[in-house]
A = this chain, B = another copy of it.
């Protein structure tokens, strides 16, 4: 995605396109790597050194709020970002530590028992295992 396209995309989501935000968006909206916030920060810093950690974290949270990104909370205190906001699941390769998308249609989830006091809005499934070579 080139620079003006990123700017238009941000503006279309009511996000003021500061230089830092454009730099962060330019990377994170195009990657298939499922990076953590820290990984985004370090990567963007290479080409745009004047981005602070706090800005990277704030910006990613903002993008999630505005629907540009999806946040995948793998564990309390460890989240990962995904520009694919269409519904899908995830596979976590426990050997390599890599994360892959799994089509939404690859599995179904059925609520069997009743969870009377829980109002479920969203179901996210994380498969863990290893990848056969």
Contact = CB atoms under 8 A, between A and B. Distances in A.
A120 B115 contact: no
Number of copies: 2
A126 B102 CA distance: 15
Contacts of A125: 109, 123-126
Chain A at the B interface: SS class: strand
How many chain A residues sit at the interface, stated as a range, is: 35 or more
Given A119-B132, A125-B125, A126-B126, 7 more contacts: A105-B112, A105-B113, A106-B115, A117-B132, A121-B129, A123-B125, A124-B126
A30 interface: no
Interface of A: 73-78, 91-92, 94, 97, 99-100, 102-103, 105-113, 115-133
